[in-house]
Structure 1
Amino acid sequence: MTIDLDELMKVRAHFDAEVREGAQADAPQGHVERAGGVVRHVAPALGWNGVLWSDLDEGTADAEIAAQVAFFAGRGCPEFEWKLYDYDRPADLGDRLRAAGFVPEPPETLMVGLVSELAKLPVEPPEGITLRVVTDEAGVDLMMRVHAGAFGRERPRLREQLLGKLREEPETIAAVLAMAGDTPVSAARMEMRPGLAFAGLWGGGTIPEWRGRGIYRLLVAHRARLAAELGIAYLQVDASDDSRPILERLGFGVLGVTVPYMWTAAAS
């Protein structure tokens, strides 16, 4: 069952309040703070740094952008992200970020699904596929093999972030592999915080030769069942163009479009 438009707007407001403005740290040594007109995530070493939410207008945006650049540059961060949503204000915030030296990455569609409905999806693996829950370094390394094959790039920072979560906050992550014998062919994870209504689906990727067999759908269904057991109401995805049509068929609705704007010290 797809969420209707009126309900989607209520869900979006809930998402903004809980996941963005009311964000919690997503790394063991990270923290979230409100500074001026933004909420930002600050983390050491290989952790994720960035702006999650903003309350700006034409008169305050440029100064706030400059303040965040000065803050993260002053911490010695090699890069940080301003996570922009297409309904953020002012309407030309993306243009202002580009003028300040940020570079946009490909847009993604912000989608949400009802766990109560998604948990009903069948979870029978395609022929030749078994699921493996990731709990240790060996499992994370297999996930990184899948990511390299599915997305065409290595992710050393992500590897360290996942290992940190599994060691120090295992209750905030559920990671899974689809295996063809001893070969990992797809991987995905769910990140959540106890007591919150939303959990995020991340990293869903399948190596090219195994696509089109229902594995992505299987991993969504598997995580939805886990979310239902934990009392989570909604699953949220920043969907690529490849993932969006699959998720729409599964009943996910669109809340908006998000674009990661990246600032790097080397380019400044």
Structure 2
Amino acid sequence: MTQTAEYLDLYDQQLRTDAETPSALHVETLSTLRLVTFSGGQGFITYPHFDGTEATPLVALVGPALEYFKAQPQITSVEFKTRGHDVAPGLDEQLKAHGFTAQEPESIMIGPMESLVSSAPLPEGVELRKISSPGDVVAMSSMLFDAFEEPYDPRIAQSLSARLATNDGMELWVASLDGRMVGAGRLEPVRGTEFAGLWGGAVLKEFRGQGIYRALTSARARSALDSGYRYVHSDSTEYSRPILERNGMLKVSTTTPYEWTRP
């Protein structure tokens, strides 16, 4: 078995379970699908690996899964998380027929945690720290929306603050330069597994290329290793993928989120 295949097998076994959604308010099952409700009126649909031998194909579950969320007026948006290595012919067409819109594909990256620890010094003037106060969480969220060039959604900061209150292990790290937040990212240990995830990592456009993203990645990796986590996983944009590859992580598959928004 190749290293990529070994990592992908670990991903399917350890991460496509309840470990995938530790902050869920409620989880309902529909055949092999997990219908997850998060705070802020967000729905999420995920499932174990499909190899094409299932009695009920994935495409047949799209409609019933969406109807489950439509029946709950507090749900305003739903994400259907797809993976490129699943065998699900016709899934793209079926999702679009039900009003889902495909977002940008991302690379599923996996590697040894220690490969992300850098010995390079911090960029001059840059300070790294963990945050937890509501004010810092709002400031971090606002900065990340700017970095991703997306409109600000206050529900994200509310959700992160609610997560921090549960003490589920999530850590929020920020990079500041001259007192201004210029980059950030989350560390999400997956309890009961060998994995911790790196999520939401980004640096403001005008501060990229200075080693800030690398420093944020290294800080989170050190924290995960201190807690005994062996592997790192991340869904990465095309900006961060090459950085992670240079640090020993491998692209094992792709994931494409499909979004539905209540009219």
TM-score relative to the length of structure 1: 0.89
Asked if structure 2 preserves the Cα contact closer than 8 Å seen for 1:191 and 1:199, the reply is yes
- Could you tell me how far 1:201 is from its partner in structure 2? 0.9
Asked if structure 1 preserves the Cα contact closer than 8 Å seen for 2:190 and 2:197, the reply is no
1:244 partnered with 2:219: no
Asked if structure 1 preserves the Cα contact closer than 8 Å seen for 2:59 and 2:88, the reply is no
Q: CA RMSD in A?
A: 2.0
Which of 67, 70, 89 is equivalent to 1:70?
67
- Could you tell me how far 1:118 is from its partner in structure 2? 2.3
Asked if structure 1 preserves the Cα contact closer than 8 Å seen for 2:41 and 2:76, the reply is no
- Could you tell me how far 1:167 is from its partner in structure 2? 1.6
Identity fraction in percent: 29
Cα distance in 1 for residues equivalent to 2:164 and 2:145: 21
Which of 119, 123, 127 is equivalent to 2:124?
127
- Could you tell me how far 1:15 is from its partner in structure 2? 1.3
Asked if structure 2 preserves the Cα contact closer than 8 Å seen for 1:109 and 1:238, the reply is yes
Q: 1:41 to 1:242 in 2, by over 3 A?
A: same
Amino acid aligned to 1:37: T
| Pairs within 5 Å for 1:43-82 | 43=38, 45-46=39-40, 48-54=42-48, 55=50, 60-76=57-73, 77-82=75-80
- Could you tell me how far 1:130 is from its partner in structure 2? 0.8
Q: State the SS of the aligned residue for 2:147.
A: helix
- Could you tell me how far 1:40 is from its partner in structure 2? 2.8
Amino acid aligned to 2:241: R
- Could you tell me how far 1:254 is from its partner in structure 2? 0.5
- Paired residue for 1:10? 6
- Paired residue for 1:157? 155
- Which structure shows the bigger proportion of residues in helix conformation? 1
Amino acid aligned to 2:257: P
- Could you tell me how far 1:30 is from its partner in structure 2? 1.5
Amino acid aligned to 2:103: E
| Pairs within 5 Å for 1:1-268 | 6-23=2-19, 25-27=21-23, 30-43=25-38, 45-46=39-40, 48-54=42-48, 55=50, 60-76=57-73, 77-119=75-117, 121-122=118-119, 124-153=121-150, 154-169=152-167, 171-266=168-263
Cα distance in 2 for residues equivalent to 1:94 and 1:131: 41
Asked if structure 1 preserves the Cα contact closer than 8 Å seen for 2:79 and 2:258, the reply is yes
- Could you tell me how far 1:59 is from its partner in structure 2? 5.7
Asked if structure 2 preserves the Cα contact closer than 8 Å seen for 1:107 and 1:259, the reply is yes
The alignment of Structure 1 onto Structure 2 pairs a total of residues equal to: 258
- Could you tell me how far 1:24 is from its partner in structure 2? 5.0
TM-score relative to the length of structure 2: 0.90
Asked if structure 1 preserves the Cα contact closer than 8 Å seen for 2:19 and 2:190, the reply is no
- Could you tell me how far 1:58 is from its partner in structure 2? 9.1
User: Greater shift after overlay, 200-209 or 48-57?
Assistant: 48-57
Cα distance in 2 for residues equivalent to 1:113 and 1:209: 29
Gaps of 5+ in 1: none
Asked if structure 2 preserves the Cα contact closer than 8 Å seen for 1:122 and 1:218, the reply is no
- Could you tell me how far 1:90 is from its partner in structure 2? 1.6
Cα distance in 2 for residues equivalent to 1:6 and 1:33: 35
Q: 1:15 to 1:187 in 2, by over 3 A?
A: same
